[in-house]
Chains A and B, each alone.
Chain A
């Protein structure tokens, strides 16, 4: 029998191309070596596709392969095995595993790679090297195979390393693509972990599971009671320094010349992902291109992502992942909205609604994306992978597929978007956007928790902890008695920098929250937040912030205690600015305070890891772009007023006249009331989305219940009720009611600046299918 190797991963791994990841390697190596003393740990390594998980495992294998046990202890035997999709039958898998184990063990013990797979001869050879007992296990495996008992054969093959290990070595398992073990034919998901369970628990056999889909594996680990045994390592892009080193190495090998000053930019462009760097350098090499400046670099990148290697990579990925063309199109459109347009989406129900698919198809698409590592699920919360190259690819696919634009047009748009980006200082724009995203994430988690007031009061914080070490601060903060109760935040909007309608809402973030669990108007509180861009916060900036807050409070008719003002300092601040902020009741937080704040909510990782985004995604919106806001309301009396208030704000942002604002408010109130009254929603929630583009305001009110009542019931007629849809028709220009098995979406459009000669066009669609394009 021919030997076919571990899916080629080992063969294609180039150790000299491996850069960075020192921290991960060191932790994994330490854990693996501790297996010799029976205290080895197990790790779950996860990250998006293509990020470099396999390289990390193979590098670890190399490191462990050259280490000695020391002090007479056994040596670690790194066994790399990939559970990729081509071995879905347990018999084939067990056979392949056996082959890999015997072959890798022989090489570990100093033999050459055997030219053919002869298990009996390999067992004999191992016996001669002091590894006994292999023949017995092999005989048992053959019996199971002959009987066609796949599961038993698999159990047998997987127990081989444990039975065969002698005192010379102990196996360290490097299991790649582990999520595929959930797809074995006629083997229940999690069975693999059941088989391995006793060995994992023993501490003598460190096990490193790697995969794009941590959700499935961690769910299986939890079922098996193994979750606590595993530590999690998320693999992301390389640091800029490591990425630049890799550029240097790749460019030298291919004799490609990219000016050193462009390399950090190029790294950022590709998200620090080594595979992309390799592909991009190959692209430049095969085109025999010269890269003298940033514009050429951008052009080459755009070329690669629209028709070159980067494009081919992702195109094949999607073709393999979604063989059905229609489903592929739907998935791409959906991902484009999430990754490129930064649609603020984090729930399964919202995702399915955005796809405009049936629940079954939507679930299938989400499940596939999760399996492939493009999104993570934690209960009902979705987190999407922000891969800049993927985002640009999706943009290409979407524009070409939906709008019929040519590749060159899309490439030009990608370059233009990048080059026209304004950065106040190198790297600063990104930092600002990242911090805004972090604070947004933080606020969403507040949920009525109490925190030390010192986190929000820089003056007091400095007085108490100035010059003290972080540890001292953390301890001091724990005993801090003066605490403040944070609101439950229902929505946080970014993009409040006005491009039209004046500077009224010129804030980085505006959050709507409630002071207690009672979701009522009386409890509504608004937080206006600015994240300072200037290194040194001056009194003038504080004054300016206060003025904007006053205007916002006036506009909203807010009592002073219901508008909370919060500024986050960039680096330093003038004493006069601190005094002024204190006088105005503005909360001030230094980055140290923010870090402590994040820590309290388990968000410290966010502070370290930049949120990957499509080039202009996290920036403040410019004129001509679509702004989006989302709000989830509980079905409760009067919460429609909150919806109206947000609608008012969106409309005011578009600088429309007061009459139109009133009409929009009334329309959304009616749509909400109808959803509250008639949907019989199980979730008890209504989801609202506001889209503001230069020529229109779109409002979506979505429930998961039975649907919109378009006419009056006899009961309603008796009570003079049932006006909802009629009023909406009169109040906005277009209305569309889409009812499907998953609920109802009322889509209302008000055109801005155009004629409203023909308002109230109503289409009632059945079956839940969205109109072509997007929703």
Chain B
């Protein structure tokens, strides 16, 4: 019943895949921001946020994602989202996030895009 409050990270080629937990709120947003910033500082430039397991997103969580997108763009990195539910897609569209990072249904499609295969 408890909403998963952590994130899971792994590497797929040179892409950092961040699987976001069930409720993207300020705590989780901060976690995501931290790992992405560390990756960027280490020289990584490809980031994929996987929202497959994310059931709820609040506006504070979204603000962190916006911050992350800004940082990736500053460093001229490449970023994508995948696994967004319809409501989360809508929220990303309303907040304008969708304009700055592409969204894919599956992780594979997103990884292909980030790898430049798509």
A261 adjacent to chain B (CB < 8 Å): no
Chain A residues within 8 Å of B56, by CB: 641, 644, 665-666, 669
B90 adjacent to chain A (CB < 8 Å): yes
Q: How many residues of A contact B (CB 8 A)?
A: 30
With A and B bound together, what is the CA distance between A482 and B73 in angstroms? 62
B106 adjacent to chain A (CB < 8 Å): no
Contact of B95 with A723 in the complex, beta carbons under 8 Å: yes
CB distance from B73 to the nearest CB of A (A): 13
With A and B bound together, what is the CA distance between A521 and B56 in angstroms? 14
Contact of B95 with A524 in the complex, beta carbons under 8 Å: no
A726 adjacent to chain B (CB < 8 Å): yes
A663 adjacent to chain B (CB < 8 Å): yes
With A and B bound together, what is the CA distance between A383 and B24 in angstroms? 41
Chain B residues within 8 Å of A583, by CB: none
Binary contact readout B63-81 vs A (1 if CB under 8 angstroms, 0 otherwise): 1101100100000000000
Binary contact readout B22-59 vs A (1 if CB under 8 angstroms, 0 otherwise): 01010100000000000000000000000000001111
B85 adjacent to chain A (CB < 8 Å): yes
A290 adjacent to chain B (CB < 8 Å): no
Q: A524-B1, A719-B67 are in contact. Are A662 and B85 (CB under 8 A)?
A: yes
Q: Which residue of B lies closest to A520 (CB)?
A: B2
Contacting residue for B63 out of A524, A670, A719, CB 8 A: A719
Binary contact readout A707-734 vs B (1 if CB under 8 angstroms, 0 otherwise): 0000000000001111110110010000
A557 adjacent to chain B (CB < 8 Å): yes
Counted as pairs of residues, one from A and one from B, with CB atoms less than 8 Å apart, the total is 64
Contact of A727 with B87 in the complex, beta carbons under 8 Å: no
Contact of B57 with A666 in the complex, beta carbons under 8 Å: yes
Contact of A641 with B95 in the complex, beta carbons under 8 Å: no
CB distance from A732 to the nearest CB of B (A): 12
Contact of A521 with B2 in the complex, beta carbons under 8 Å: yes
B3 adjacent to chain A (CB < 8 Å): yes
Q: A659-B87, A666-B56 are in contact. Are A723 and B63 (CB under 8 A)?
A: yes
With A and B bound together, what is the CA distance between A562 and B27 in angstroms? 25
A556 adjacent to chain B (CB < 8 Å): yes
Contact of B87 with A666 in the complex, beta carbons under 8 Å: yes
Chain A binding surface SS class: helix
A558 adjacent to chain B (CB < 8 Å): yes
CB distance from B61 to the nearest CB of A (A): 10
A559 adjacent to chain B (CB < 8 Å): yes
Contact of B94 with A730 in the complex, beta carbons under 8 Å: yes
A638 adjacent to chain B (CB < 8 Å): yes
A235 adjacent to chain B (CB < 8 Å): no
Q: Which residue of B lies closest to A562 (CB)?
A: B1
With A and B bound together, what is the CA distance between A673 and B58 in angstroms? 8
Contact of B59 with A721 in the complex, beta carbons under 8 Å: yes
Contacting residue for A641 out of B3, B87, B90, CB 8 A: B3
A704 adjacent to chain B (CB < 8 Å): no
Contact of A724 with B59 in the complex, beta carbons under 8 Å: yes
Q: A524-B1, A659-B86, A662-B87 are in contact. Are A720 and B58 (CB under 8 A)?
A: no
B7 adjacent to chain A (CB < 8 Å): no
B62 adjacent to chain A (CB < 8 Å): yes
Contact of B1 with A727 in the complex, beta carbons under 8 Å: no
Pick from B23, B56, B59, B85 the residue with the most CB of A within 10 Å.
B59
B60 adjacent to chain A (CB < 8 Å): yes
Chain B residues within 8 Å of A640, by CB: 58
Binary contact readout A513-536 vs B (1 if CB under 8 angstroms, 0 otherwise): 000000001101000000000000
Within 8 A of B (CB), among A612-670: 637-638, 640-641, 644, 659, 662-663, 665-666, 669-670
Contacting residue for B2 out of A522, A637, A720, CB 8 A: A522
With A and B bound together, what is the CA distance between A153 and B59 in angstroms? 69
Chain A residues within 8 Å of B95, by CB: 723, 726-727
Q: A721-B63, A727-B91 are in contact. Are A662 and B58 (CB under 8 A)?
A: no
Interface bracket on B:
20 to 34
With A and B bound together, what is the CA distance between A640 and B62 in angstroms? 16
With A and B bound together, what is the CA distance between A665 and B60 in angstroms? 15
Chain B residues within 8 Å of A665, by CB: 56
Q: A522-B2, A666-B91 are in contact. Are A720 and B67 (CB under 8 A)?
A: yes
Contact of B94 with A721 in the complex, beta carbons under 8 Å: no
Within 8 A of B (CB), among A717-770: 719-724, 726-727, 730
Chain B residues within 8 Å of A720, by CB: 62-64, 66-67, 70
Contacting residue for B90 out of A522, A559, A669, A730, CB 8 A: A730
With A and B bound together, what is the CA distance between A659 and B85 in angstroms? 9
Chain B residues within 8 Å of A644, by CB: 56
Contact of B25 with A638 in the complex, beta carbons under 8 Å: yes
CB distance from A686 to the nearest CB of B (A): 15
CB distance from B59 to the nearest CB of A (A): 4
Chain B residues within 8 Å of A724, by CB: 59
Contact of B60 with A673 in the complex, beta carbons under 8 Å: yes
CB distance from B102 to the nearest CB of A (A): 19
With A and B bound together, what is the CA distance between A718 and B89 in angstroms? 23
With A and B bound together, what is the CA distance between A496 and B31 in angstroms? 39
With A and B bound together, what is the CA distance between A663 and B66 in angstroms? 21
Chain B residues within 8 Å of A727, by CB: 59, 91, 94-95
Chain A residues within 8 Å of B59, by CB: 670, 673, 721-724, 727
Q: Which residue of B lies closest to A559 (CB)?
A: B1
Q: Which residue of A lies closest to B68 (CB)?
A: A720
Q: A644-B56, A723-B63, A730-B94 are in contact. Are A662 and B1 (CB under 8 A)?
A: no
With A and B bound together, what is the CA distance between A663 and B90 in angstroms? 9
Within 8 A of A (CB), among B81-103: 85-87, 90-91, 94-95
Contacting residue for A663 out of B1, B23, B87, CB 8 A: B87
CB distance from A218 to the nearest CB of B (A): 44
Within 8 A of A (CB), among B1-29: 1-3, 23, 25, 27
Binary contact readout A554-580 vs B (1 if CB under 8 angstroms, 0 otherwise): 001111001000000000000000000
With A and B bound together, what is the CA distance between A16 and B87 in angstroms? 71
Pick from B1, B27, B94 the residue with the most CB of A within 10 Å.
B1
Q: Which residue of B lies closest to A524 (CB)?
A: B1
Q: Which residue of A lies closest to B67 (CB)?
A: A720
CB distance from A291 to the nearest CB of B (A): 57
With A and B bound together, what is the CA distance between A666 and B58 in angstroms? 7
CB distance from A708 to the nearest CB of B (A): 13
Pick from B56, B58, B62 the residue with the most CB of A within 10 Å.
B58
Other than the known A640-B58, A720-B67, A724-B59, what 20 A-B pairs have Cβ atoms closer than 8 Å? A521-B3, A556-B1, A558-B1, A637-B27, A641-B23, A659-B86, A665-B56, A666-B58, A666-B91, A719-B63, A719-B67, A720-B66, A720-B70, A721-B59, A723-B59, A723-B63, A727-B59, A727-B94, A727-B95, A730-B94
Cross-chain pairs A/B with CB under 8 angstroms, 20 sampled: A521-B3, A640-B58, A641-B56, A644-B56, A659-B86, A659-B87, A662-B85, A662-B86, A663-B87, A663-B90, A666-B57, A669-B58, A673-B59, A720-B62, A720-B67, A720-B70, A724-B59, A727-B59, A727-B91, A727-B95
Interface residues of A (CB under 8 A from B): 521-522, 524, 556-559, 562, 637-638, 640-641, 644, 659, 662-663, 665-666, 669-670, 673, 719-724, 726-727, 730
Pick the 6 closest A-B CB pairs, nearest first.
Answer: A662-B87, A723-B59, A720-B63, A720-B66, A721-B63, A730-B94
